[in-house]
Amino acid sequence: MRWLELKVPPPVVTLIIATGMWGISPPQSVTETFQLVRIFPASPFVLLGAFCGMSALGSFIRHRTSIDPHHPAKTSCLVVTGLYRHTRNPMYLGLCLLLIGWVILLGAPVALFGPAMFVVYLTRFQIQPEERLLLERFGKDYEAYCKKVRRWL
């Protein structure tokens, strides 16, 4: 299944999974989905997810390196500052947190399959191929970074 590696951009994967989560959830109106009783517990996940993504994006921009998920080999430097000191994939973690917030808004425990599928899919078809390319490009520096910082959390 290597043909799927680095093919679908992670934001698109997120949208597909979020749509699927909505599809398997019990039917409800928009006003039911966005009740205050759901918005308050979902908000920290959504805000933290947005923060992770934007902060990581800012780190890439400051280091003037590529954010193109289709071509990780275009990366010009290894970013290990900011959130990258705590997780090797803060952008993907941010997307996962958004999906967890969506689970809460949907109020459907069955939708928890979405974030789980997201982690499995992204690890296999996005992160592992990226890691192979980054190891080739940055060698021992990337290897040392991987030993020090976890893939997700």
Amino acid 89: pLDDT: 98
What does the pLDDT read at residue 48? 98
Within a domain: 25: no
pLDDT attached to residue 68: 87
Residue 79 lies in a domain: yes
139: containing domain = 31-148
pTM confidence score: 0.95
In a domain, 13, yes or no: no
| Residue (of 14, 48, 43) closest to 105 by Cα position | 43
Place of tokens 């982690």: 119
78 within 8 A of 142, measured Cβ to Cβ: yes
In the chain, the number of structural domains is: 1
Q: What pLDDT does 70 receive?
A: 79
Low-confidence residues of the chain, pLDDT below 50? Answer: none
Q: Looking at the domain assignment, is residue 17 inside a domain?
A: no
Phi and psi at residue 136, to the nearest 5°: -60, -40
User: Angle 113-122/90-106 helices, nearest 10 degrees?
Assistant: 160
Query: 105 in a domain, yes or no?
Result: yes
Give me the pLDDT at residue 88, please: 98
**Is 21 inside any structural domain?**
no
Q: How far apart are CA 150 and CA 33, in angstroms?
A: 34
CB 66 within 8 A of CB 76: yes
